[in-house]
Amino acid sequence: MVFLSNLVNGISLGSIYAIIALGYTMVYGIAKMLNFAHGDVIMVGAYIVFCAAQYWNLPPVLCVIAAMLVCTLLGITIEKLAYKPLRQATGLAVLITAIGMSYLLQNTALLIWGANPKVFPSLFALDTIWLFNGQLAIKPETLITIAANIVIMTALTLFIAKTKTGKAMRCVSEDRGAAELMGINVNRTISVTFAIGSALAAIAGLLLCSSYPQLMPTTGSMPGIKAFTAAVFGGIGSIPGAMLGGVLLGVIEIFGKAYISTELGDAIVFAVLIIVLLVRPTGLLGKPIREKV
Amino acid sequence: MSEAANLPLLKVNDIHVYYGAIHAIKGISLEVNEGEIVTLIGANGAGKSTTLNTIAGLLKPRQGSIAFAGMPVDGTAASKMVYKGLSLCPEGRRIFQQMTVRENLEMGAFSRPNEEVEASMERVYGFFPRLKEREKQVAGTLSGGEQQMLAMGRALMSKPRLMMLDEPSMGLAPILVEQIFNIIRGMNEAGTTILLVEQNAQMALSVANRAYVMETGRITMEGDADRLMHDDNVRKAYLGS
C-alpha cells in the first residue's frame, strides 16, 4: 500500500515536471535555445494565483486564467526584449541572457512579494479520496495534476500534428530558412511557442504550489532545473519525451526518497540522468543526430 | 494593363551582395519576362545561388534594386515574397525530412487559402505521379530523385508566377536529370515562368529561352540560349568541347 501511495505521488510530481518540461522542450525545438528563465515564470504564475485568490478573492477558475494571461504576456515580452535581438548571436550569449533573465525575475519577485514564504491557498475544495478500506489516501490535488497532464499532452500533440500553426512550428524546428520560403513568419511562430510554454508554466505553478504549498521567489528554480533534466532525459525537442521523462523523474525521485535516502533524493535523480545519457546521449525518445549526406 | 504586360516579371538592377566583408555579387542586372524559362549558368562559386537567395529575400542587397511584377521588392522578407507570387526551390532541396510527403506539399501551400490546397495537390500529383504513390511516406526516406521532385512540387504548391529553381539536377542520375528537365518544361508550358540556376549548362541551355553566364559575381555573357549553346567561349568553359 505504501508502494502504491508512493507511485501515485511520484506520477503526480512527475506530471508537474512534465508540464514544465514541455515549455523547455518546445522552446528548444523551435527557437533552438534553452530558456533558463522558464522555471521563474512558474513562480510568477504561482504568485499571481496567490494574489488573485488571497487579495482579490477571485473564484479559482478566474485565478488560473489571470495567471495564464500574465505568464503568456510575460513569456512573449521576455522573448521580444531579451532573446529576439540575439537571434543571430552565438548560443552562449543567449544562454547567459536566459540565466540573467532568471535572476531578474527572482529579484523582481523578491522586491514585490518579499522574502517570507507565503502559504499557498487550497483552491480545490474537494475531499481526500480513501481507497482499500482507508489504507490508501489520494488527495484531490494529486488527481487533478495527473488529469491536467493527460489533457495538456493530448491537446498539445493534436495541436502540433493537425493545426496550421502547429505544422508551421514543426517546419521552423526543422529548417528555419525553408520555413520562411513557405511564407511562414518565423518570428511570429517563435512568439506563439513562448506564449504556449508560458501559459503551461502558469498551470504548472498552480499545480506545484497546490501540492507543495510554500511560495517564495526561488520556488520555481529547483523544479525548473529538474524539469529541464526531465526534458533532456526524455530527449529534448520531443513532446512525448518530455512527458515520459517528467513522469519517470517524478517516480524515481519519490521512490529514491522513500526507499533509499530522503537527503539523497535529488542526487539519485541526477545520477539516473547521467547513466541514461551515457547509454543514450539523445535521451530516451530523442532522435539520433544524423549526418547530412 | 498593356503597360504592365510590357514590363518584365522580374527586373534585377545592378545589385551588390556581401557576406560580411566578402563582395559576393558585384553588380548584377537581369530580367525575366512572363512565360519564359531563363537560366543562369556558371561555375561553382560564381554567385548563382546567392543571386537567387537575394531575389527570394533571404539575403539583402547592399545596393541596387529588385522589382517583381512592377513593384519594388528589395528588402522584403522571404516569408512575404511567396505571397507576391515568387517561390524558390532551394539548393540542396531542403524538404522537411520528418514530415510526410503530403505534409510537405501542404506546407508549400501555406500562403494559399485552405480550400485551394486539394486542387493544387492534384495538379502537383499530375506532374509528379511518384509523389502520390509516396503520399504517406516520411520525406527523409525518399530517394534523391524523389526528394527533388518533392522540393519542386512543394514550390509549385504556392501557385507561383515565377518559380526559381536552384540546381535541380544536383546529384541525380542522368536519366532522372532528363526527367526533371522535362517536368520543368511542362510546368512552364502550364503557365509558370521559370528562372533556373544550373551547373549542367548543356541541359539548362537546351530547355531555356534565354541565358545569363556568371563568373565571380558578375554577368559576363547573355543572350538567346540557342546562340550561347553554339558560342565558342561558352562551349570551351561550360560544355566541355
Annotated domain spans of chain B = 34-58+77-239
Residues in chain B, overall count: 241
* Minimum CA–CA partner of B164 in chain A: A181
Name the residue among A175, A184, A186 with its Cβ closest to that of B110: A184
Q: How far is B58 from chain A (nearest CA, A)?
A: 8
Q: How far is CA A75 from CA A41, A52, A79, in A?
A: 8, 20, 6
- Please list the residues that pair with B219 across neighbouring strands: B214
Q: How far is B108 from chain A (nearest CA, A)?
A: 5
pTM given for the model: 0.88
Contact across the interface for A183 and B110, Cβ inside 8 Å: yes
Q: Which residues in chain A are closer than 8 Å to B159, comparing Cβ atoms? A: none
Cβ-proximal residues to A209 (8 Å cutoff; 6+ apart), any chain: A46, A49, A50, A120, A215, A219
Q: How far is CA B65 from CA A108, A124, B79, B215, in A?
A: 48, 63, 19, 21
Rounded to a whole number, what is the distance in angstroms from the first to the last CA of chain B? 46
* Minimum CA–CA partner of B160 in chain A: A182
Residues in chain A, overall count: 293
Q: How far is CA A246 from CA A35, A140, A210, A289, B142, in A?
A: 17, 20, 18, 22, 34
Check residue A291 and give its pLDDT: 45
Q: Three-state DSSP class for A193?
A: helix
Name the residue among B79, B87, B90 with its Cβ closest to that of A184: B79
Check residue B238 and give its pLDDT: 78
Element (H, E) at A65: helix A60-78
Summarised one tens digit per residue, pLDDT across range B87-108 is 999 999 999 999 999 999 999 9
Element (H, E) at A164: helix A164-174
Check residue B4 and give its pLDDT: 52
Q: CATH 3.40.50.970: does it fit domain B34-58+77-239? A: no
Contact across the interface for B90 and A177, Cβ inside 8 Å: yes
Check residue B58 and report its DSSP letter.
S
For residue A209, is it within any domain? yes
Check residue A44 and give its pLDDT: 96
For residue A175, is it within any domain? yes
Contact across the interface for A171 and B96, Cβ inside 8 Å: yes
∠ CA(B159), CA(A191), CA(A68), 5° rounding? 130
Given pLDDT bands bounded at 50, 70 and 90, which one contains residue B3? very low
Mean pLDDT score of chain B: 92
Check residue A126 and give its pLDDT: 74
Check residue B11 and give its pLDDT: 96
Q: How far is A82 from chain B (nearest CA, A)?
A: 22
Check residue B75 and give its pLDDT: 83
Q: Which amino acid is at A49?
A: V
For residue A293, is it within any domain? no
Contact across the interface for A181 and B56, Cβ inside 8 Å: yes
Strand B63-68, strand B218-224: pairing: unpaired
CB-based contact, A289 to chain B, within 8 Å: no
For residue A291, is it within any domain? no
CATH code, A89:
1.10.3470
User: In the sheet that B210-215 helps form, which strands lie side by side, from edge to edge?
Assistant: B86-89, B162-166, B193-198, B37-42, B210-215, B218-224
Q: Which residues in chain B are closer than 8 Å to A175, comparing Cβ atoms? A: 94, 96
Q: Which residues in chain B are closer than 8 Å to A179, comparing Cβ atoms? A: 107
Using CA atoms, how far apart are residues A266 and A226, in angstroms rounded to an integer?
Answer: 9
Summarised one tens digit per residue, pLDDT across range B63-78 is 999 999 999 998 899 9
Using CA atoms, how far apart are residues B24 and B46, in angstroms rounded to an integer?
Answer: 8
For residue A183, is it within any domain? yes
Using CA atoms, how far apart are residues A160 and B118, in angstroms rounded to an integer?
Answer: 21
Nearest CA-CA partner of A26 in A97, A75, A96? A75
Q: Is the pLDDT of residue B195 over 90?
A: yes
Check residue B54 and give its pLDDT: 95
Q: What is the pLDDT along chain A (293 residues), one digit of tens a residue?
A: 788 889 999 999 999 999 999 999 999 999 889 999 999 999 999 999 999 998 888 888 899 999 999 999 999 999 999 999 998 888 899 999 999 999 999 999 999 999 899 988 887 777 777 777 777 888 888 889 999 999 999 999 999 999 999 999 999 999 999 999 999 999 999 999 999 999 999 999 999 998 888 899 999 999 999 999 999 999 888 889 999 999 999 999 999 999 988 888 888 888 888 898 898 888 888 776 554 44
Interface test mutation site (partner A, options B59, B79, B93, max chain A beta carbons within 10 A): B79
For residue A289, is it within any domain? no
Structural domain for A8, as ranges? 2-279
Check residue A289 and give its pLDDT: 55
Check residue B65 and give its pLDDT: 95
Using CA atoms, how far apart are residues B240 and A170, in angstroms rounded to an integer?
Answer: 44
Q: Which residues in chain B are closer than 8 Å to A167, comparing Cβ atoms? A: 99, 103, 106-107
Interface test mutation site (partner B, options A30, A182, A293, max chain B beta carbons within 10 A): A182
Q: Which amino acid is at A156?
A: L
Summarised one tens digit per residue, pLDDT across range B25-37 is 999 999 999 999 9
Element (H, E) at B102: helix B101-108
Q: State how many domains chain A has.
A: 1
